Amino acid sequence: MRSLKKLAPLLLLAALVGFCAYRDYRFAPNAISKLTRQGWTVATTNDNFVSVSHPWSIFHPPTTMLWLMQIDKAQEISPGVFAIPELRVRYDYEDVESEENLAVYDVIENRQTVVRPGTAIDSLDLSNLKWFTPEPNTPGEALMTFVRRSVPSPVRSSE
């Protein structure tokens, strides 16, 4: 009985750590399941956020960033330029924040930008948007690749 009393705090600590780790590793699958039922499609994920208060993340970081798109709502606003509703979801090991935007992808020039959700597509002046070219091996590059694979485009016939 004495040894059980000594082990009780350790068992309680192990259970608490196990629950926290389980919650961290279940964030992405749970969020993806919920959001895909709402019509979103996973475009890319990221798992490079480590928290010292969650030491298991040092060895194997859980997925903490999700980028999703409503690809069925993509609109071609110019040849090879698509406006697509995009949702970014971030888990910081405590809270979840999400941000919905209208992303614009130019698959011919390999550039992208984000505008406010609700922006009228016909009011966009492509020459005045703040474009950026995604860096290699970044979520931006993965998003561009996803768009290229998911929407009809004049570049597909030349690739």
Give the tens place of pLDDT for each residue, 51-76. Answer: 777 777 678 788 889 999 999 999 99
The 10s digit of each residue's pLDDT in 115-129 is 987 888 888 899 999
The 10s digit of each residue's pLDDT in 8-52 is 777 777 777 777 777 777 888 899 999 999 999 999 998 877 777
Tell which residue, 135, 19, 148, 18, has the closest CA to residue 82.
148
Q: What is the pLDDT of residue 159?
A: 43
Task: Please report, for the chain, the start and end positions of each structural domain, with discontinuous segments joined by +.
Answer: 2-154
Cβ neighbours of residue 62 under 8 Å, at least 6 residues apart? 24, 25, 27, 28, 47
Q: What is the pLDDT of residue 154?
A: 54
